[in-house]
Chains A and B, each alone.
Chain A
Amino acid sequence: MLHRRLLAGLIGPLALLCATAAVAAPARVATLDWTLAETLVALGHPPVATAQVDAYRAWVRKPALPDSIIDLGLRTQPNLELLASIDPDRILISPMFANLAPRLERIAPVDSLALFSAGHDTWSEMRTLTRSVASLIERPQAATRLIDNTETHLETLKQRLGGDTRPLLIIQLMDARHVRVFGDNGLYQAVLERLGLTNAWSGNTNAWGFSLVPLETLIGIDAQLVVIKPYPAGVREALTDSSLWQALVDRHGAPLVLEPVWSFGALPSARRFADLLVTAMENTDGR
């Protein structure tokens, strides 16, 4: 804590120095949204402050936030006094925080960037988002690089996969009886399309690209199960007692278990998910 404050104390004056010395000073950006935070980090221009840093480290994980980042508190109620004292040049939010915009405007100009709007192609929306963020921090070429890199990388992964065409069912366990199953209009769907894989879930999804269903819904669907960690506390043990889960495993084969990925992220999370997924699929093939 002390160490973080010291750093913050150091960075403030340093930034001031830069502002007077450099011709085009790098904008000091604060964001409330993890998706925008990870995009900023991936563009090589991490935010000076974001909300719920500890939870970001647990749920988004990578790309890692710099140690110097200042924690603003809850995403829905960032500490305004603190934010004002940091005095950022810009504040980036997603439409979810629209009601905060008037007050954030008093601290710095606010830009609201949307992702996962219904009826839009998620991947091209991610591209647009990346470009908008990059143009706000005046690094348009960084966006082109990030997009190209990600797309080339996904293309390489697609080649590596070859002709494996078994549909996938991507789930996250909520408790021993309910799962979120990810489908249309979500991050995972967009990645699967890029990799030339099929999503076995064709049912309804909400505005965030998932549907909450009881476990039995999955039985009738013939697919390779992909479980996104973490397991909620006690659920892994409960699943061994569950005849339904055991039957699922018997029918579909052992699930691929992936490290936590931010389900509502942008390009960095997409790439991370693709890497984890393809590695897991290759390991199974080799077994």
Chain B
Amino acid sequence: MAADAFFRSRLPRLTLTPGHGCLLLGLVVTALVVAHLEATLGLAQGLMALWRLPDATAAGLVLHAAWWPRLAMSLLAGGGLALAGVLMQQVLRNPLAAPTTLGVASGANLALMAASLMAPGLLALGREWVALAGGGLAMGLVFLLAWRRGLSPVVVVLGGLVVNLYLGALGMVLLLFHQEALKGLLIWGAGSLAQNGWHDAAFLAPRLALGAMLAAWLLRPLSLLELDEAGARSLGVSLKHLRLAGLGLAVFITGCIVSVVGIIGFIGLAAPNIVRLAGARRLGPRLVWSTLLGALLLAVTDLLLQRVSGFLPTMIPTGAITAALGAPLLLWLIPRLRLGGNAPPREARTIGHRHPAPRRLVMLLSAALIALACIALLSGQGADGWQWASIGNGDLLQWRLPRLLAAASCGLMLAIAGTLIQRLTANPMASPEVLGISGGSAIALIGAIFLLPAPDNLTLVAIGTAGALASLAILVAINRKSGFQPERLLLTGVAITALFDAVKSVVLAGGDPRGQQVIAWLSGSTYYVDLGSALIVAGASLLLTLAAAPFTRWLDILPLGGATASALGIGVHRSRLVLLLLIALLTATATLVVGPLSFIGLLAPHMARLMGFTRARAHLAGAALTGALLMVLADWLGRQLMFPQEIPAGLVASLLGGAYFMWGLGRR
């Protein structure tokens, strides 16, 4: 069975059947419900509160208008998300697909933000419609990107990832400039299940029922997807349309849920995988059991959270808890998944030709970089509008020079890290952010900002580095056995990034004014660099670049696949580990300065390849120059566009880079 083929055959089957699992969780839910009712109004009165107001007491009112609707909502949302998860995993034939991976959640989030700032009247019509429209558009964008490639699973997931990052960056810009006005949306974004009546449950229930009916109707054709593609095609099924229908349905369900309770990850990923591990193989049983299990999982999580929430100084949204639980589950799943193995990956060598004289191109890029640096250094706006500074104007240059240096060095480091990882994984869509190293250092830094009274920059740098090294350790520990297989490595990174998202949303939802500082750092600005640290960063970048130079032979050979490389006398394990360490160092250093958001590591190697740099050495040089150029441009633009307010360079870069990437993905 293809469904089973996701897992290695030696995987010990759980002794629990899906039915037993659901029964067990059901008993837990019942026990929690009974305990809560006994503690408030007593069982009989409490049950009555489900239908009508039992009496005039406050407890009765809370039960009727908040507690029961919340339980209903957690069951509905959990079930719906799990159903959507099964559909997506089936369609994409990827056990790690989940309702949030298609960009629906971030699209809905961005639409709500934009609406509350620019057209609040739309929100009065109904938040859910705004969210649905945004989610739908984001999904449309993903489909558009993947359409030319026949909605191939890998491209859909990657397109979703990029759209997620891109919309997230746009949202971050809005948040940076309008934190006070958008603070309510941060709570929604973190996924709170709190209810204030039956209104939302009544909105969601019929839509989910419709979704479930459509899923039942699609059951038979979707089962055919378990055959390989050729088999399914020979049975006369239009794969494109079938996938579109399956994904569309999953997105509709997700969109409805997201619009009401915000972003609740993990359930859509966990429930279907647990059910499959528990031995449900055919699509029908998997749909039914996953839906049940998802509903119960979310209900248990939420009921337990409600029991402890009284002891916490701030509200922890349920969605953030589920996301935090999801990361370890992902890490646990990764070694148990059957992925591509050591097959030589399809290299996207087709894009770009080989430039006849790469050396001349390098000179040209260097000249462009110097010219741009001069412009960035000498022109800018002041209290009296645009002005040109003279080269001897130390008063101005003392502010601009460190930022220029830092931007250029970070661009350079990210570009080299990106080139290394793209060549190492033979995956043109890999980028250093995906490894989760930036995520790890971001978690540590958020912790530092919140737990230390007034941290100075040196402390922050030390703590950020520690975080980066910790996620590197996780990366190595999990991937050592598989010999640092490219796909698995990227998935580990995805898991760490998921954990980072959970931490971020808890922090932002609490509404602490220090959140502004976190947002400012997360969006990646050269703002906090002074001359001393800029020189250190520049020195580090040159040093690490030189360190990468001896590996160019490996980089030309490793993309040919593990077997070829071994045959050519390269210690695959050792070389991968060394390169990995180098990538980690480069990424961590750059992240500390420009934050975890940036597409430079993705963009620069791509552009360099398009320009005709094909051999590893030339590719590295070209990418490094392009990265520095892009980052300097982004930094300068960010300081001028909304003067005196500054858009962080990382955000400008990711907006430029994301647009380019989507254009490239759609074009090919």
Contact = CB atoms under 8 A, between A and B. Distances in A.
Interface stretch (B14-22, B284-292, B382-390, B551-559): B382-390
Given A206-B313, A212-B187, A212-B511, A96 B120 contact: no
Contacts of B427: none
Contacts of A86: 383
A175 B187 contact: yes
Nearest to A106: B398
Given A214-B192, A243-B196, A234 B646 contact: no
A66 interface: no
B382 A82 contact: yes
Contacts of A206: 313-314, 510, 512
B184 A174 contact: yes
A214 B194 contact: yes
B187 A176 contact: no
B127 A234 contact: yes
Contacts of B176: 74
B644 A243 contact: no
Given A75-B516, A180-B511, A233 B644 contact: no
Contacts of B513: 96, 208, 264
A84 B315 CA distance: 41
B116 interface: yes
B457 interface: yes
Contact of A81 (B115, B313, B400): B400
Contacts of A76: 516-517, 519-520
A116 to B, nearest CB: 10
B577 interface: no
A174 B196 contact: no
Given A219-B58, A234-B120, A244 B196 contact: yes
A247 B53 CA distance: 11
Contact of B180 (A59, A204, A205): A59
B382 A85 contact: yes
Nearest to A236: B124
Interface residues of B, number: 68
Nearest to A95: B454
A175 B510 contact: no
B461 to A, nearest CB: 11
A178 B62 contact: no
A212 B510 contact: yes
B9 to A, nearest CB: 47
Contact-residue size bin, chain A (C-beta under 8 Å from the other chain): 35 or more
A216 B65 contact: yes
B195 A177 contact: yes
B530 A233 contact: no
Given A70-B383, A72-B644, A211 B313 contact: yes
Contact of A242 (B61, B67, B197): B197
A286 interface: no
Given A98-B454, A212-B314, A233-B123, A174 B511 contact: yes
14 contacts: A59-B180, A70-B383, A72-B644, A81-B396, A86-B383, A174-B183, A211-B313, A214-B192, A215-B196, A216-B67, A220-B59, A232-B116, A241-B199, A244-B65
Interface of A: 5, 8-9, 55, 58-59, 70-77, 79-82, 84-86, 95-96, 98-99, 102-103, 106, 173-178, 180, 204-208, 210-216, 219-220, 232-235, 237-238, 241-245, 247, 251, 264
Leading 3 A-B pairs by shortest Cβ distance: A234-B123, A214-B194, A233-B120
